[in-house]
Amino acid sequence: MILLHIEASPKGDHSYSSRLARAFLEAYKAKNPDDEIRTLNVFEHDMPAFGKAEAFAKFAPIMGEARTAEQESAWEKVKQEISYFDGADKILLSCPMWNYSIPWPLKQYIDCLVQPLETFGYDFEKMDHVGLLRNRPVQMILTRSSTMPGDYNDFQLPYLKYIFGAIGIRDVRAIVPWATTKASREEVEAYLSGFETEARQAAENF
Protein backbone atom coordinates (compact mmCIF):
# COMPACT_ATOMS: atom_id res chain seq x y z
CA MET A 1 0.00 0.00 0.00
CA ILE A 2 1.11 3.54 -0.69
CA LEU A 3 0.05 6.35 1.64
CA LEU A 4 0.45 9.87 0.26
CA HIS A 5 0.78 12.62 2.86
CA ILE A 6 -0.22 15.96 1.37
CA GLU A 7 1.12 18.63 3.70
CA ALA A 8 -0.36 22.13 3.33
CA SER A 9 1.36 24.16 6.04
CA PRO A 10 4.58 26.06 5.27
CA LYS A 11 5.64 26.06 8.93
CA GLY A 12 7.69 22.84 9.01
CA ASP A 13 8.48 21.67 12.54
CA HIS A 14 6.39 24.52 13.97
CA SER A 15 3.22 23.50 12.17
CA TYR A 16 0.40 22.12 14.33
CA SER A 17 -1.27 20.26 11.47
CA SER A 18 2.06 18.68 10.44
CA ARG A 19 2.76 17.72 14.05
CA LEU A 20 -0.57 15.89 14.32
CA ALA A 21 0.13 14.27 10.94
CA ARG A 22 3.46 13.00 12.34
CA ALA A 23 1.62 11.40 15.30
CA PHE A 24 -0.79 9.79 12.82
CA LEU A 25 2.06 8.51 10.65
CA GLU A 26 4.05 7.10 13.58
CA ALA A 27 1.07 5.00 14.62
CA TYR A 28 0.30 4.09 11.00
CA LYS A 29 3.88 2.92 10.34
CA ALA A 30 3.91 0.85 13.54
CA LYS A 31 0.78 -0.94 12.35
CA ASN A 32 1.70 -1.12 8.64
CA PRO A 33 5.51 -1.43 8.53
CA ASP A 34 5.61 -2.56 4.90
CA ASP A 35 3.60 0.34 3.50
CA GLU A 36 5.31 3.14 1.59
CA ILE A 37 4.79 6.68 2.89
CA ARG A 38 5.21 9.53 0.37
CA THR A 39 5.16 13.19 1.38
CA LEU A 40 4.20 16.10 -0.83
CA ASN A 41 4.35 19.58 0.71
CA VAL A 42 2.36 21.85 -1.58
CA PHE A 43 4.50 24.87 -0.56
CA GLU A 44 7.65 23.10 -1.78
CA HIS A 45 6.25 21.04 -4.63
CA ASP A 46 7.11 22.17 -8.18
CA MET A 47 3.70 21.97 -9.89
CA PRO A 48 2.08 23.69 -12.87
CA ALA A 49 1.07 27.27 -12.12
CA PHE A 50 -2.22 26.59 -13.93
CA GLY A 51 -2.38 29.70 -16.08
CA LYS A 52 -3.39 30.43 -19.67
CA ALA A 53 -1.98 27.31 -21.40
CA GLU A 54 -3.49 24.96 -18.80
CA ALA A 55 -6.88 26.74 -18.80
CA PHE A 56 -7.16 26.40 -22.60
CA ALA A 57 -5.79 22.84 -22.56
CA LYS A 58 -8.44 21.87 -20.00
CA PHE A 59 -11.35 22.73 -22.27
CA ALA A 60 -9.88 21.98 -25.71
CA PRO A 61 -11.13 18.34 -25.94
CA ILE A 62 -14.58 19.32 -24.64
CA MET A 63 -14.84 22.05 -27.28
CA GLY A 64 -13.67 19.58 -29.97
CA GLU A 65 -10.41 21.48 -30.49
CA ALA A 66 -6.86 20.16 -30.81
CA ARG A 67 -4.39 21.37 -28.22
CA THR A 68 -1.48 23.48 -29.40
CA ALA A 69 2.06 22.18 -28.76
CA GLU A 70 2.38 24.58 -25.82
CA GLN A 71 -0.93 23.43 -24.36
CA GLU A 72 -0.03 19.77 -24.89
CA SER A 73 3.25 20.13 -23.03
CA ALA A 74 1.48 22.01 -20.19
CA TRP A 75 -1.12 19.26 -20.06
CA GLU A 76 1.49 16.51 -19.78
CA LYS A 77 2.67 18.08 -16.50
CA VAL A 78 -0.90 18.28 -15.20
CA LYS A 79 -1.38 14.58 -16.05
CA GLN A 80 1.83 13.71 -14.18
CA GLU A 81 0.36 15.32 -11.04
CA ILE A 82 -2.85 13.33 -11.44
CA SER A 83 -0.95 10.11 -12.01
CA TYR A 84 1.22 10.58 -8.89
CA PHE A 85 -1.85 11.38 -6.78
CA ASP A 86 -3.80 8.43 -8.21
CA GLY A 87 -0.87 6.13 -7.38
CA ALA A 88 -1.73 6.46 -3.69
CA ASP A 89 -4.02 3.92 -2.04
CA LYS A 90 -4.63 6.16 0.96
CA ILE A 91 -4.28 9.88 1.53
CA LEU A 92 -3.43 11.91 4.61
CA LEU A 93 -4.06 15.64 4.21
CA SER A 94 -2.80 18.00 6.92
CA CYS A 95 -3.88 21.57 6.38
CA PRO A 96 -4.38 24.81 8.32
CA MET A 97 -7.36 27.06 7.67
CA TRP A 98 -6.35 30.25 5.86
CA ASN A 99 -8.97 32.97 5.67
CA TYR A 100 -11.80 30.50 6.23
CA SER A 101 -10.58 28.31 3.41
CA ILE A 102 -7.35 26.54 2.35
CA PRO A 103 -3.81 27.87 1.72
CA TRP A 104 -3.36 28.94 -1.89
CA PRO A 105 -0.81 26.27 -2.98
CA LEU A 106 -3.29 23.56 -1.97
CA LYS A 107 -5.87 25.22 -4.22
CA GLN A 108 -3.25 25.27 -7.00
CA TYR A 109 -2.66 21.54 -6.44
CA ILE A 110 -6.42 20.87 -6.54
CA ASP A 111 -6.68 22.91 -9.76
CA CYS A 112 -4.15 20.47 -11.26
CA LEU A 113 -6.01 17.37 -10.06
CA VAL A 114 -9.62 18.17 -10.92
CA GLN A 115 -9.91 17.71 -14.69
CA PRO A 116 -12.76 16.75 -17.03
CA LEU A 117 -12.29 13.36 -18.70
CA GLU A 118 -9.28 12.66 -16.44
CA THR A 119 -10.70 12.73 -12.90
CA PHE A 120 -14.37 13.65 -13.36
CA GLY A 121 -17.13 13.32 -15.91
CA TYR A 122 -20.48 15.03 -16.11
CA ASP A 123 -23.92 13.45 -15.92
CA PHE A 124 -26.09 15.71 -18.07
CA GLU A 125 -29.34 14.09 -16.85
CA LYS A 126 -28.50 14.64 -13.21
CA MET A 127 -26.55 17.80 -14.00
CA ASP A 128 -23.83 16.70 -11.63
CA HIS A 129 -20.18 15.68 -11.54
CA VAL A 130 -19.28 12.00 -11.67
CA GLY A 131 -15.95 11.18 -10.05
CA LEU A 132 -13.67 9.00 -12.17
CA LEU A 133 -11.01 8.06 -9.61
CA ARG A 134 -11.42 4.97 -7.45
CA ASN A 135 -12.65 5.61 -3.94
CA ARG A 136 -10.04 5.39 -1.18
CA PRO A 137 -9.66 6.54 2.43
CA VAL A 138 -8.64 10.11 3.12
CA GLN A 139 -7.74 11.27 6.62
CA MET A 140 -7.85 15.03 6.95
CA ILE A 141 -6.24 16.89 9.85
CA LEU A 142 -7.50 20.47 9.66
CA THR A 143 -6.25 23.04 12.14
CA ARG A 144 -7.75 26.45 12.81
CA SER A 145 -7.25 29.05 15.47
CA SER A 146 -10.92 29.78 16.13
CA THR A 147 -13.33 28.70 13.38
CA MET A 148 -15.58 25.87 14.58
CA PRO A 149 -16.30 22.99 12.20
CA GLY A 150 -19.84 23.30 10.90
CA ASP A 151 -19.91 27.06 11.39
CA TYR A 152 -21.33 29.09 8.49
CA ASN A 153 -17.86 30.47 7.69
CA ASP A 154 -16.12 27.09 7.48
CA PHE A 155 -15.15 26.94 3.80
CA GLN A 156 -12.30 24.50 4.47
CA LEU A 157 -13.82 21.12 5.46
CA PRO A 158 -16.99 21.37 3.30
CA TYR A 159 -14.94 22.44 0.27
CA LEU A 160 -12.34 19.70 0.69
CA LYS A 161 -15.04 17.04 1.18
CA TYR A 162 -16.90 18.26 -1.90
CA ILE A 163 -13.88 18.46 -4.17
CA PHE A 164 -12.55 15.01 -3.21
CA GLY A 165 -16.07 13.63 -3.75
CA ALA A 166 -16.24 15.32 -7.16
CA ILE A 167 -13.31 13.20 -8.36
CA GLY A 168 -14.68 10.01 -6.79
CA ILE A 169 -13.07 9.96 -3.34
CA ARG A 170 -15.84 9.81 -0.78
CA ASP A 171 -14.27 8.00 2.21
CA VAL A 172 -13.26 11.23 3.95
CA ARG A 173 -12.52 11.27 7.68
CA ALA A 174 -11.64 14.47 9.52
CA ILE A 175 -9.97 15.54 12.73
CA VAL A 176 -10.52 19.25 13.27
CA PRO A 177 -8.57 20.99 16.06
CA TRP A 178 -10.32 24.32 15.75
CA ALA A 179 -9.00 26.33 18.72
CA THR A 180 -5.23 26.24 18.34
CA THR A 181 -4.53 29.80 19.52
CA LYS A 182 -4.12 29.76 23.30
CA ALA A 183 -2.86 32.20 25.89
CA SER A 184 0.12 30.02 26.85
CA ARG A 185 2.47 27.39 25.44
CA GLU A 186 1.23 24.92 28.11
CA GLU A 187 -2.37 25.30 26.97
CA VAL A 188 -1.37 24.71 23.34
CA GLU A 189 0.56 21.57 24.37
CA ALA A 190 -2.39 20.20 26.36
CA TYR A 191 -4.78 20.96 23.49
CA LEU A 192 -2.59 19.38 20.81
CA SER A 193 -1.68 16.29 22.82
CA GLY A 194 -5.39 15.38 23.02
CA PHE A 195 -5.57 15.53 19.23
CA GLU A 196 -2.33 13.53 18.91
CA THR A 197 -4.11 10.73 20.77
CA GLU A 198 -7.08 11.09 18.40
CA ALA A 199 -4.74 11.02 15.38
CA ARG A 200 -3.02 7.82 16.62
CA GLN A 201 -6.41 6.16 17.15
CA ALA A 202 -7.54 7.18 13.66
CA ALA A 203 -4.36 5.62 12.23
CA GLU A 204 -5.20 2.29 13.87
CA ASN A 205 -8.32 2.01 11.70
CA PHE A 206 -6.97 3.52 8.52
Ligand X SMILES: Cc1cc2nc3c(=O)[nH]c(=O)nc-3n(C[C@H](O)[C@H](O)[C@H](O)COP(=O)(O)O)c2cc1C
Residues that bind ligand X (CB under 6 A): 9, 11, 15-18, 96-100, 143-147, 180
Closer CB to ligand X, 67 or 107, in the complex: 107
In angstroms, the CA 27 to CA 204 distance is: 7
In the complex, the smallest distance separating the C-beta of residue 144 from ligand X, rounded to whole angstroms, is 3
Residues 126/38, Cβ–Cβ less than 8 Å: no
**Of 86, 91, 140, residue with least CA distance to 113:** 86
73 labeled part of a ligand binding site:
no
* Ramachandran bin of 173, using left for φ above 0, alpha for ψ from -120 to 50, beta for the remaining angles: beta
Closer CB to ligand X, 9 or 119, in the complex: 9
In the complex, the smallest distance separating the C-beta of residue 70 from ligand X, rounded to whole angstroms, is 34
Residues 182/188, Cβ–Cβ less than 8 Å: yes
101 labeled part of a ligand binding site:
no
Closer CB to ligand X, 98 or 159, in the complex: 98
94 labeled part of a ligand binding site:
no
The amino acid at residue 43 is: F
User: Which residues fall within 8 angstroms of residue 193, CB to CB, at 6 or more apart?
Assistant: none
In the complex, the smallest distance separating the C-beta of residue 103 from ligand X, rounded to whole angstroms, is 7
How far is the CA of 198 from the CAs of 95, 193, 201, in angstroms? Answer: 16, 9, 5
In the complex, the smallest distance separating the C-beta of residue 22 from ligand X, rounded to whole angstroms, is 11
Closer CB to ligand X, 43 or 206, in the complex: 43
In the complex, the smallest distance separating the C-beta of residue 114 from ligand X, rounded to whole angstroms, is 23
* Ramachandran bin of 50, using left for φ above 0, alpha for ψ from -120 to 50, beta for the remaining angles: left
Closer CB to ligand X, 89 or 198, in the complex: 198
15 labeled part of a ligand binding site:
yes
Task: Tell me the three state secondary structure of residue 40.
Answer: strand
Return binding residues for FMN. Answer: 9, 15-17
